[in-house]
Structure 1
Amino acid sequence: MPLSRRALLSTATAAVFAAATAPAVAATGSRLRATAVRHIPLQGAVNVRDLGGYVTYTGGRVRHGLVYRADALGKLTDSDVTTLAGLRLGRAVDFRIPLEVQYDGADRLPAGVVPVSRPITDNGLFGQLLAAIGSRDPVRQEQMLGGGRAAAFMNEVYRSFVTSAANRAQFGLTLRELAGLGSTPSLYHCTSGKDRTGWTSYLLLTALGVPEATAVGDYLASNTFRAAYDAKVREGLKQGGLMQNPDLIIPLQEVRTAYLNTALDEVRTAYGSPFRYLTDGLGLELRTLSRLQDRLVD
């Protein structure tokens, strides 16, 4: 790509992020229908998606088959592994911390896919959830999760995406690698594929020039794909006698625009704009952002 076009793309990316300084749109106005997202149906994971297909504000389109987002891959069936093999992945980046991997198991991946462990702290979320459920004590569970405390905890998780230097380094490395993988497809995931994975996807899509409302819609689509599975988990907790009121964990299971706005508010406070968060916070050079455009946008 000629240098002049690279410069244009860098300027355009900055403009997109400047526009993103407004709070994320309300959930009711930005949810994507399931049919608008290229979902990869699997038996052992429910939130696996191709990020391709979204139209950018300049009329380009994010290329299919290069970047995938997912939830944990440790419970994939043999058929699921065969499906993943068809994606021709070069690598699978795992954002889970060791406790999550220990509990849910290592990824099951097709032969030839390079597993990359890149833990991003969940700010104690997974441990908090295990402790609350494991107590089997409805009073303690209410004290830990009730009265808005679960949602407040989630807001702190999202704030740490911006305030933690270690988290920023991992997000930055992930986006930097995506810019340099050429034609090799890549996947990244966490446990539920909604928070660390959701933030990464939001950053990537907006950096590519996907309109804010569309990027938020992709983020919120996790609620659609996870709804049945999460409801089954809550029912199992109740039937198993672990929780009298499993609805206490709903704020931990869902994504919400309030959570995303918490991170974006912290971005604006610390960096002035999401674009500066990318360049100053995550250490991405303008040429890296242009390479993302070159590689991922038609």
Structure 2
Amino acid sequence: MPTADLTLPADIGPTVERALAEDVGDGDRNAALVDEGLRASASVIVRENAILAGSPWFEQVFAALDSSVSVEWAYSDGQRIRSNTPICHVEGPVRALLTGERTALNFLQLLSGVASSTFDFVERVKGTNTQIIDTRKTLPGLRSAQRYAVRCGGGINHRFGLFDAILIKENHILAAGSIGTAVQRARETAEGLFVQVEIETLEELEQALEAGIDGVLLDNLPSHVLARAVNMADAHRRRFRRDIVIEASGDINLRNVREIADTGVDRISIGGLTKHIKATDFSMRMKTR
């Protein structure tokens, strides 16, 4: 079972508010078809095996619509859920349940899909020392939610954005003139931040190691070259007693992720965790009183 840090992001409320505003607009004309005082209960059922994620967003949707809605969970985020299993029970005014149903399920299906995909990759590299991490390739406005879902699936998070770590990519190197110059400027302008360089050849790796970086991102290198890169980095670690994070990325899938992990890289970053999303199928079935 995933044991990642499931600390909740601080922007759940605003994220839910935007989602409800998008769907409800100036009023739910559909819910108005139902008597205002009517109450109901409902069960949410998962239609496929998955890892649950998104329950705080689900709850916040109904809390924002009517504080009298109650939600009782049979499972917690990060747990495996089996097909055709009820995962929670919701009770409250029918209008609130109808208005919030789609938005609440949208969060649940999206985030459980991310968690489930992450879990599959984590399972493939089990037994190695390699960690599965996400990238900045997230849905606009949902980055913190998707990063939470990655943690639910047992993965870890890369930098949040452009402000909390430095990743020197090909265009940065081209604009700066060299890897060494780019690293030097990073140290001068962002003291204390983690500095990582994306490299595509072993020659570039040598330059990055000489520049004194904190980590390297080995992009689209075949496994035999990755193994050589890991050996080079390990030798540099021993010689200078300096920790260096070795990360692989580029065209990673469930078929090749284990082979890449077996090269000894510390991390494998996969943009598909948060951009190639297969939503988990949930449904909500209501019973009126």
TM bin, normalised by shorter chain, reads: under 0.3
Which structure exhibits the higher relative contact order, with contacts defined as CA atoms closer than 8 Å and separated by 6 or more residues? 1
User: Which structure dedicates a bigger proportion of its chain to helix?
Assistant: 1
TM-score of the two chains, using structure 1 as the length reference:
0.23
CA radius of gyration, larger in: 2
TM-score of the two chains, using structure 2 as the length reference:
0.24
User: Which structure dedicates a bigger proportion of its chain to strand?
Assistant: 2
